[in-house]
Amino acid sequence: MPQADIGERLRALPPGSAVALKLDSREYADHYFAFLNATLRDLGSEPGVHTIYVAVTSPASFVWTLAQALDVPPERISFVDAISHLMMRFHDAVPNATYVESPRALEEIMLRIEYLLRRFPHPRSVVVIDSVNSLAIHNPPELLSEFLHILLNNLKGRQALTLVLETTDEQAASVEQLMNLVVDETLDVARLGR
């Protein structure tokens, strides 16, 4: 999969967009790394860009290790980590990270994103939510729907580009329906660049 094409597609998105990025569960590792490469290195290396990574699937320490491997400067990325406490990995603190006790603490996640947007003001903010499927495991559909509507509308108003990871599989039909209601566009990582 041409990673440069993913990065080009993400760079072309207008500020204030909310986009779902579908990752095929059968090729998750390859798609996830291609997404990180395009988001953190290609898009994140543009002047004036700061990325806020909301870690719900993988702990911030894991994403931070990958970001370092991609030569992402530490001042270009910050984290809202909502999974480390559940995984008992909260002792692996990373730079510019704030920790939430659980993926069920949706209001706290919103407040932490707002805090990081204020703490790291940049001409272009990118917010990555990893992933809506993990949030769906921890939260009832109605609450998750309300959270996504409020959060994405707030981020649109702040002209932040919001990227929401979504894993495709047979059990994810309800998540896909929800995402179709709240995002402006859905990009299939497997098909980008083909």
At 13-71, the pLDDT tens digits run 999 999 999 998 888 888 898 899 899 888 888 889 999 999 999 999 999 999 999 88
pLDDT in tens, 2-16: 455 888 889 999 999
Fold annotation for 3-165+178-188:
Rossmann fold (3.40.50)
pTM exceeds 0.75 for this model: yes
Q: Which of 49, 52, 18, 54 is nearest to 131 (CA)?
A: 54
Task: Report d(CA 44, CA 52) in Å as an integer.
Answer: 10
